[in-house]
Amino acid sequence: MDLAPFKLDIDELLDDYAKENCMSFTDFKRVWMAKKFSYIYEGRPKANSGVFMQSLFLHCIGHMTSQSSLLQRLPGLYCLYCLYECQPYKPHYKIYLSLEESNKLKDFVIEAKQNGLSLVPALVKRMLDKGMFLFGFINLLGDNEAKEVDEMNASQNKRVKFACDKLFANTQIGSYTHKDLGVEFELDSIKKLSMDYAKAKESAFAEASQTVDVEDAKHILQNDKLLGDKVEEIVKEWDAQKEEFYQKTGVSPHDELAVVDNDESGEFHDENETDAFDELEQLLLE
């Protein structure tokens, strides 16, 4: 997926706005509409829509959190907002913001306030209120992509493990996920008994037919399936559902599902978690 042309379009839009020597959001929207920039989505890829949107968002975040002047960084925020609002996807893809980027956004808001740009904190607050951000701990703007993917997978696995522990706490679900239904039902015995019963029934009808008319009772011999076969189908369906559960949750058939000793609040806390995200929102309330 070649996203370079899309990023180049964004760069040109921001350059055109910078040439206007203005700082208002109204002027940015005027430049946006003059270039009919919403048409950027006309050439969007048919697959990997999430990757496409996050790439556009990240490119704007890169402008917004760069070492450039406030005047040069400001349109990055404006463009980020407009790209989110104009995206063609329903529901909207949220803007992923790492802990580091959140801190930079907080500094950006402080600087804008100090320079009398009250629209910036108002716009960021609007974005927070509308739930436009998805906060995380992995900096997607970094250079070591492989390491970042590993860290993200490790964090995700940790959260899945925590969710499983909470799900299975104080329930009997663990016994069901490890239950062998064939053993519980004594399937082999049922199949043998049902087969013996079918043979005995056929033998009884054969003997009775020698002395009486059994034509009206032949339907008894025409059952679709033996009881043992029906029970075996149930067992196979149970095993298939268990296997699907193992694949979706990552739980092994031999794993013991135990509840971990978490904090009293019952909430997951990443070891790197801080209150930096809350600081941004608190700043906007001041």
Chain segment 102-137, per-residue pLDDT in tens: 888 999 999 999 998 888 999 999 999 999 998 875
Distances (CA, A) of 42 to 1, 38, 176: 15, 8, 50
Q: What is the pLDDT of residues 182-231, one digit of tens each?
A: 777 777 888 888 787 777 777 776 777 767 666 666 666 666 677 778 88
- Residue 17 forms part of a structural domain: yes
Domain count, the chain: 2
Contact residues for 232 (Cβ-Cβ < 8 A; gap 6+): 182, 187, 191
pLDDT at residue number 267: 44
- Residue 144 forms part of a structural domain: no
- Residue 212 forms part of a structural domain: yes
Across the chain, what does the average pLDDT equal?
77
Residues 198 and 92 occupy one common structural domain = no
- Residue 176 forms part of a structural domain: yes
- Residue 39 forms part of a structural domain: yes
**Structure tokens given for 258:** 């135990």
Cβ–Cβ < 8 Å for 284, 123: no
- Residue 54 forms part of a structural domain: yes
Residues 106 and 175 occupy one common structural domain = no
Residues 16 and 95 occupy one common structural domain = yes
Choice between 256 and 72, residue whose per-residue pLDDT is larger: 72
Q: Please give the residue range of the domain that contains residue 99.
A: 4-137+273-285
| Region of 186 on the Ramachandran plot (φ > 0 left; ψ -120 to 50 alpha; else beta) | left
Question: Which ranges of the chain would DSSP assign to H, the alpha helix?
Answer: 4-19, 25-34, 49-64, 70-86, 99-114, 119-129, 145-168, 173-177, 181-184, 187-208, 227-249, 276-285
Cβ–Cβ < 8 Å for 174, 136: no
- Residue 257 forms part of a structural domain: no
CA angle 249, 250, 255 (to 5 degrees): 110
Residues 98 and 216 occupy one common structural domain = no
pLDDT at residue number 226: 78
φ and ψ at residue 128, rounded to 5 degrees: -65, -45
Residues 95 and 216 occupy one common structural domain = no
Residues 70 and 34 occupy one common structural domain = yes
Choice between 264 and 90, residue whose per-residue pLDDT is larger: 90
Q: Which residue has the tokens 């270039």?
A: 35
- Residue 245 forms part of a structural domain: yes
Q: Which 8-state DSSP code applies to residue 68? A: S
